[in-house]
Structure 1
Amino acid sequence: MTHTNTSMRTRLAELLLEKSYLEGSFVLTSGQQSDYYFDCKQTALHPEGGWLIGNLCLDIIARHGGIQGVGGMTLGADPLVSAVSVLSQVRNMPLPGFIVRKTSKGHGTNQYLEGLKNFSPGDQVCMLEDVVTTGGSLITACKRVEDAGLKVAQVICVLDREQGGADALALEGYTLEALFTRASLLQEGHFA
């Protein structure tokens, strides 16, 4: 089955609207009120959804060049990291993955990152995130990755809520690339 980038984006938008997008009244992790909620895990854990997200993220990573692995903060990034890493092997551009814990392990090596044995100090990595609102948790994750000796060279999210996250990341030296914003998701998914 051959897909163009455009058809993959359209199909992913449809799946995200079907499985991950809810309208109503919600309180976000940031404490902000919102008239919609986006639960990306519902789509990322779907076989077609994970495949589409993985391929679209890999397209962005390939354009950037020089990336030696992918990772993100648990739990939202876990299915994204797995999809991108596995598909990178299929596409002959193998990228190992790592997961950033919210708290240190607390025993053994007491580390924040899982998967470090697949990397060398200074490797350039791409951080993956499902949803970016204020960017706070993503910035924390990026700092932990850099504290572990890796270089965050790229940041990709599935949905940028356009609520200051990209600007906050930019102030820390990170450029956010989003597969979708709310407006583009609704438009490309043909939400009525």
Structure 2
Amino acid sequence: MRKYKQHIILILGLISFISCTQKSFDTEEALWAHLKEEPNGYVQHKTINGIDFTLTYRPTDLLVKQELGKDINEKRVDSLREKYGEYLYFNLSMSRNNQELLSSTAHDRNRFGLLVNQLAFGMTNKVHLYTPKRDTIALLDYIYPRMYGMSNRTSMLLVYPKEEQLMKQDHINLSIEDIGLFTGEVTFKIPLDPLKDEPKLNFNKMLP
């Protein structure tokens, strides 16, 4: 009887381990919830001089799902995974007093204009991704949607090449130079193991 109980405990332990390490999610909401838990290694927060910075890794499958919409089929999923899988995507968000940055500077026309220009056109020179040996990875693109006060944070999507040598590193660093908010340079150390084994969406569960 005792041996039987030990087997049951072992089986339950294995089931618990598998469920805890599962990296496939049936919904976008479940995947986002996983990304937002800091111990999982996909999100980091910093607050400097009243500015809240959040850096979140955005897995390939979230880009795939965004393009697919409701038109999901296996062939398109494979094609889009190949297309988006060549790049690394990071969401960078910044806020002050739970407001987007432009809302907090709207009273100062000069500062507002400078910040709009910086966010819309100048972040390529302000955001840097580099290896532990200080080798720089070029920013391929960034997308900054103007929210016109409809959001509580300023957000942008940063796109980098997923180079083979880069992914062999233990970690990479992403730094944001001061963009006129008196924060100094803000740096995030990004572990690469979670990115190498990034979570996925279970598209089979979404098929019509």
Q: What range is the shorter-chain TM-score in?
A: under 0.3
Tell which has more relative contact order, 1 or 2 (C-alpha 8 A, sep 6+).
2
TM-score (norm 2): 0.26
TM-score (norm 1): 0.28
When Rg is computed on C-alpha atoms for both structures, the one with the higher figure is 2
